[in-house]
Structure 1
Amino acid sequence: MDDYHITKELGDGSFGTVTQAQHKQTGKVGRDLMLALVHRIEQIKTFTNVAIKKMKKEFSSWEKVCELREFKALRSLPPHPNVIALLEAFYIQQTRELYFVFEYMEINLYQFIKDRKGKLLKERTVQSIIFQILKGLHHIHSHGIFHRDMKPENILISTKKKTICNCTNRSDSICNSKQCQNAPWIEHIKTIQDINKSEDSDNYIVKVGDFGLARDIKSKPPYTEYVSTRWYRAPEVLLRSNTYSSPIDLWAVGTIMAELFSLKPLFPGQSEIDQLFKISEILGSPCIRPELSDGAGGGEWKDGVKLAKSLGFAFSQTTPKPLSKLFPQSTSSRFLEFISHLLRYDPRQRLTALDALKHPYFVESNFIFVPQHEPEDIKTIGMEKKRKNGNFLPFKKNGGNLIPGDNKSNNIYSWSKAKDTQIYDANESYTSVNPTTVNCGSPISIDLRRFQLPDD
């Protein structure tokens, strides 16, 4: 491969195979994307390790690639520290193969939990992980997308080595001073053991990944009945509702949070019916109001009872279990209150991602949510807040067209986040481009040898 050196295979899933690779020219991939994530552009470190995902499905044309939900979702999302970054996408017309190049993260949350080997996490560490997941989800939801497949395997985690800041002489991951010459960036620790050895709650980097099942919130139902892994599936999905939306992601966050505290799944159902029984054993029947002081119970859900009846299923008349019995004694009452508002039967009663971020459970522990739009001292071109037809509109600078070109060679197409995203000073003026001129990507000439994986 000309630009990437494959180092090892990471996994093989139903949609594609993933390999770890190193970029041979530091800064070629991801530099502009990184500029959009920090307030300072001097001496910035960039991605050298990447994860390359080869899709198993074949695509007959570049236009078909552009229709892929995962590609559409990741292209339309502005960069965010808690959402996995798609750096490049390559389509080879002769072989109909599609490759995605992502930033590399060492492990997923499932591996992280498994490697704990029963050693419980500190509550503040759980708070930090969930807070970052919620920030990523809020970013996704606020841009009109819901994930539909939130589970530990799709939450990516690393740690960052701390660097001594020149101007404060303190250990900071990213200094806030514009004059700092150190300009440290995140350096990932490479092993699961190293990540689990870290007990510093501020040392974890958490990102939402895998947008293969993502949908536009405004898209018209019916939606696919089967989404997400069963244990993290919301009741409305289990009952075959085809009008669900973003609240299913918040239910999943509640189950993930419970698993982080206990290191075991909260609702480990063996089938969809068993999953509903597992849920009702803990949350009680959706026909019964919760009466316990710690917020136990999933609340009333008349629509759910009707859905169940239409499937020939009836909830047993069970009372909810006290949530305090499910978690370590050291667990705070604020946590019990918080998680009870995520695990509500009725999706309309669940917290939104934004509500969750502003909940006293986080605020009282000094986890303060600050909306991350455009950084103060840079502009991100190619990603306007207004959306049209599911995409962000590009800009042109002082009349100069910044829209990607439409040239290709050897029937190989490429899209690059760095090319789709330009960085300029905030003081410059911008005018929006007519959306009819926007195309899917930036086809360029690429050597086919880039995509040949090493022999076994």
Structure 2
Amino acid sequence: MSGNLPNPPQPPASGADLVQKSMNELRLTDENTTTNTTSSTNRQAYSSQQSQQNNNEIFEGRLVEGDLKQGNTMLSTVSSGAGRQVFNYSTDRIVGNGSFGVVFQATCLETGETVAIKKVLQDKRFKNRELQIMKQVDHPNIVKLKHCFYSYPDKEETYLHLVLEYVPDTVYRISKHYAKNNQRMPNLFVKMYTYQMCRALGAIHKQGICHRDIKPQNLLVNTETHQLKLCDFGSAKVLVKDEPNIAYICSRYYRAPELIFGATDYSSAIDVWSVGCVLAELLLGQPLFPGESGVDQLVEIIKVLGTPTREEIHAMNPNYTDFKFPSIKAHPWTKIFSKRMPPDAVDLVSKLLQYAPNKRLTAIQAMTHPFF
């Protein structure tokens, strides 16, 4: 974030130094920030039986000709119950990229509609988990999947293309705008964005889906209406009780502490922690826990929440048995935020950012908080 805003108050340096020294001795999860959503840990085994589509407007198709690149026009054909439809897309510019692939802003030449097309390298042995989940979700605060198709640049590669509604801005860019101008985001916007974020999560959590990468960059916003839409389900997964999951998930600043402790049997409460981090960032104008590594992330959390108790560590990961933590007291939330901050906003942050996952509010419970 911009350096124009003052840093939130921190506990005494001696305490932080103690935490940092101790963290170096612990066995904690510490990997790169970017999640590779095409890895085998993020795909479901391919089933010979096709999944049933619950949205008749979503069509799977095959690319007739061309390959999706910036600045070209491509033709795709998709099949539906009503027959075949042909769509020509003119790719205008790249709006996002990463280990997952690339996202283009494109125009459908038949309708003139602007869309976003996410191009992902596909392993033929697996179904794409993101595609399966996007077919299941239909909500005003979740980006809509229009249809999808495949391309084959050569015999060895297959690319999946997700055609999504285009939303022009993100909470990240809006927040950066205010920080750059040494301003705080208006409380009304903070309320609207946070409420809609919780609303989207409430819907997917009810279906057993955990997003696993909540961050300002994945919160799209129409700046004319301020409608928010959750996007990028490349890390999302249907969580099944007692079925192990990878601990390295979620972008670092927004990563729940149980993930840092290596928990594999976590719940959708990891998304709620991320919501608390996003809310705090919107209120402060900068990330609350700007860790430089997985271990340092825990240092930043302990600076604010204090040392977790044995009970809290057990709630995060029952299999974690190292307790080499110095005793650091929690830093009062009222000192993290300015005195002008609405007390209800600070209270909501404190109820979302709890060490014990079962002590955090759920997304639905958060929507009933007095802050809104």
Q: State the TM-score, normalizing by the size of structure 1.
A: 0.59
Give the deviation of 1:302 after TM superposition: 4.4
Report what 1:353 is aligned to.
363
Q: Which of 341, 347, 351 is 1:337 aligned to?
A: 347
Report what 1:245 is aligned to.
267
3-state SS, counterpart of residue 371 of structure 2: helix
Question: Does the aligned pair in 1 maintain the 2:235–2:249 contact within 8 Å?
Answer: yes
The answer to whether structure 1 residue 49 and structure 2 residue 114 are counterparts is yes
3-state SS, counterpart of residue 160 of structure 2: strand
Q: Which amino acid aligns with 1:92?
A: S
Higher RCO, 1 or 2 (CA under 8 Å, sep at least 6)? 2
CA distance in 2, matches of 1:309, 1:221: 18
The answer to whether structure 1 residue 114 and structure 2 residue 176 are counterparts is yes
The answer to whether structure 1 residue 73 and structure 2 residue 133 are counterparts is yes
- Structure 1 residues 119-176: Cα deviation after superposition (integer angstroms, max 9, x where no partner): 111212101110010111111111220101111111111222xxxxxxxxxxxxxxxx
Report what 1:263 is aligned to.
285
Report what 1:104 is aligned to.
166
Give the deviation of 1:277 after TM superposition: 1.3
Give the deviation of 1:48 after TM superposition: 1.1
Q: Which of 87, 93, 112 is 2:146 aligned to?
A: 87
Question: Does the aligned pair in 1 maintain the 2:220–2:231 contact within 8 Å?
Answer: yes
Q: Which of 230, 250, 254 is 2:252 aligned to?
A: 230
Q: Which amino acid aligns with 2:359?
A: Q
Question: Does the aligned pair in 2 maintain the 1:262–1:327 contact within 8 Å?
Answer: yes
Give the deviation of 1:53 after TM superposition: 0.9
Report what 1:321 is aligned to.
331
Q: Which of 13, 20, 24 is 2:105 aligned to?
A: 20
CA distance in 1, matches of 2:317, 2:193: 36
For these two proteins, the number of residue pairs brought into alignment is 282
Q: Equivalent residues in 2 for 1:30-429 (5 A)?
A: 48-55=113-120, 57-60=121-124, 64=126, 67-77=127-137, 79-92=138-151, 95-116=157-178, 117=180, 118-160=182-224, 203-218=225-240, 220-287=242-309, 301-303=312-314, 310=321, 312=322, 314-362=324-372
Give the deviation of 1:306 after TM superposition: 6.7
Q: Which amino acid aligns with 1:50?
A: V
CA distance in 2, matches of 1:209, 1:338: 24
Q: Which has the higher strand share?
A: 2
CA distance in 2, matches of 1:140, 1:360: 23
Question: Does the aligned pair in 1 maintain the 2:105–2:114 contact within 8 Å?
Answer: yes
Gaps of 5+ in 2: 1-73, 76-87
CA distance in 2, matches of 1:277, 1:308: 20
Question: Does the aligned pair in 1 maintain the 2:175–2:282 contact within 8 Å?
Answer: yes
CA RMSD of aligned residues (A): 2.0
Q: Which amino acid aligns with 1:127?
A: K
Give the deviation of 1:328 after TM superposition: 2.9
Q: Which amino acid aligns with 2:93?
A: K
State the percentage of identical aligned residues. Answer: 36
- Structure 1 residues 213-245: Cα deviation after superposition (integer angstroms, max 9, x where no partner): 111133652101110111100010010000001
Give the deviation of 1:89 after TM superposition: 0.9
Give the deviation of 1:84 after TM superposition: 0.9
CA distance in 1, matches of 2:241, 2:147: 26
CA distance in 2, matches of 1:313, 1:151: 30
* Largest Rg, 1 or 2: 1
Gaps of 5+ in 1: 27-46, 161-202, 289-299, 363-456
CA distance in 2, matches of 1:20, 1:272: 33
Give the deviation of 1:315 after TM superposition: 2.9
CA distance in 1, matches of 2:205, 2:316: 27
